[in-house]
Amino acid sequence: MIRSLSPSRRRAALLALAGALFALAATAAPPKAWVGNFKDDTVSVIDTGSGSVVATVPVAKGPHGMAVSASGSPLYVSSDGASVVNVIDAATDKVTATIEVGRSPHGLALTPDGRFLLVGVYGEDKVVFVDTATRAIVGMAGVAKPHTIAMRPDGRFAYVASQQPGAFALAVIDIPSRSVARTIALDKPPRDLEFGWDGKALYFTQAGIDAVQVLDAANDNIGASIATGASPHIAMQARGAAFGTVVVQGPGELMLFDPATRKAVRSIAVGKQPHWMAAADGGKTFYVSNEGSNDVTVVDIAKGTTKTIAVGNAPRKVVVQPGDGDAGTKVSIANFAFAPAQLVVALKSAVTWSNDDGAPHGLAFADGKGSTNLLLPGATHSRSFDAPGTYDYVCSVHPYMSGRVVVR
């Protein structure tokens, strides 16, 4: 049938067919997990369905920070021993772009709307903003020795671990103005920091302190800490997970804690010198990278069972590709922001916005469909999405409030 078409029509038909097949493959495939092997200069690609390494991608020297787009691709990898961020396409497992950012980049974080990638450029005392569409650096904020970065889920602020000797601090970057709004002084060097999924608490660790510090996001006060074993590295409260989780390097364990009481619940042994973790399956499973035993432990946190996957030399960061609907189909409007600001949903999903604010808002979609000019406090509005694509919207009352729905 294709033979009877003109060459240009034939090409168009083939492209349409390839696109349809790709869309099918993209929705059917289980999520991938990526592990940066610090001493191999590679990224191991794990198929979470089969639990096996399906590809090994060469990257620049010393892969360190990693972040994946909420839409599932691309993956960004910073290289500590170089001055670049590699961009890896999740479908082909190939580096498709290399972004020059400055000497020794460490932590990475994406804004919730996916528009900007923040890179902690440790060797040049700055955090740069990369426009993810053009891959150009469009802004920067001065932060001494920036290590890891936590984006507040509403996209308003990013908290950065600043490891400047004599001036250890958390630097708080105001995202709209791309400048440091305030700093929180610390007595010991901050290591990692992560917001809980609901944005209420920031969990962070410090060198020489065997506890996770909990910062109240409403007022930046540091309250009661969570006692752990030796050398806790990363702590989080993942969406859907029954417990908070901490990677504790000394004993080599994943410690579960109750976020309400701030007490340990139980610990599950993982590999040697665990470094990082990522949640999968809506918070039921965790992938923990073990820098000292060159593997990844897959932990079922309800059952406490584990399985081990061998990777490359000195695995540090691990991230898991978000699945369809991992973030649900509800958007809350609160404090003059959409939360989450970016939602990835399956085809034919209905998304519901609820105005949980004290002021009226509205929804204006770029495609002009499904909008509402007025959403009073307490009201809800739904729109269903019948075609794959990216749907940008703003508040019709406050156009600086922006959000995005990605339909796969």
Of 169 and 395, which CB lies nearer to Cu ion in the complex structure? 395
Three-class secondary structure of residue 333 per DSSP: strand
- Min CB(354)–Cu ion separation in Å: 13
- 239 in contact with Cu ion (CB under 5 A): no
Task: Write the binding mask 312 to 351 for Cu ion: x where contact by CB under 5 A, - elsewhere.
Answer: ----------------------------------------
Of 163 and 396, which CB lies nearer to Cu ion in the complex structure? 396
Of the candidates 159, 171, 229, 147, the residue with the CA atom closest to the CA atom of residue 201: 159
Of 274 and 340, which CB lies nearer to Cu ion in the complex structure? 340
Q: What number of CA atoms fall less than 13 Å from residue 106's CA on the CB side?
A: 23
Distance of CA 204 to the CA centre of its chain: 16
Q: Which residues between 89 and 118 bind Cu ion (CB under 5 A)?
A: none
Of 361 and 383, which CB lies nearer to Cu ion in the complex structure? 361
| Residue 311: DSSP 8-state | -
Of the candidates 159, 135, 137, the residue with the CA atom closest to the CA atom of residue 148: 159
| Residue 155: DSSP 8-state | S
Of 158 and 395, which CB lies nearer to Cu ion in the complex structure? 395
Of 240 and 378, which CB lies nearer to Cu ion in the complex structure? 378
The neighbour count for residue 388, using CB atoms within 10 Å, is: 14
Q: Which amino acid is at 135?
A: R
- Min CB(155)–Cu ion separation in Å: 14
Of 7 and 176, which CB lies nearer to Cu ion in the complex structure? 176
Contact 73, 95 (CB under 8 A): no
- Min CB(99)–Cu ion separation in Å: 33
Pairing of strands 232-236, 244-248: antiparallel
Task: Give the H or E element holding residue 391.
Answer: strand 389-394
Q: Which residues between 15 and 74 bind Cu ion (CB under 5 A)?
A: none
Q: Site for Cu ion (CB under 5 A): how many residues?
A: 5
Three-class secondary structure of residue 15 per DSSP: helix
d(CA 323, CA 341): 17
Q: Which residues between 344 and 403 bind Cu ion (CB under 5 A)?
A: 361, 395, 397-398, 401
- Min CB(395)–Cu ion separation in Å: 3
SS3 content of the chain, % helix, strand, coil (to 5): 10, 50, 40
Of 108 and 395, which CB lies nearer to Cu ion in the complex structure? 395
Contact 23, 15 (CB under 8 A): no
Three-class secondary structure of residue 167 per DSSP: coil
- Min CB(396)–Cu ion separation in Å: 7
- Min CB(400)–Cu ion separation in Å: 9
Is 372 exposed, middle or buried (CB count within 10 Å of its CB: 0-12, 13-18, 19+)?
middle
Pairing of strands 253-258, 221-222: unpaired
What does the block give as tokens for 353?
Answer: 């916005």
DSSP track, 241-285: -SSEEEEETTTTEEEEEETTTTEEEEEEE-SSSEEEEEEEGGGTE
- Min CB(158)–Cu ion separation in Å: 22
Of 200 and 398, which CB lies nearer to Cu ion in the complex structure? 398
- Min CB(398)–Cu ion separation in Å: 4
Of 315 and 403, which CB lies nearer to Cu ion in the complex structure? 403
Is the bond into 146 cis (omega within 30 degrees of 0)?
no
- Min CB(149)–Cu ion separation in Å: 27
- Min CB(397)–Cu ion separation in Å: 4
Which residues in this chain contact Cu ion in the complex, by CB under 5 A? 361, 395, 397-398, 401
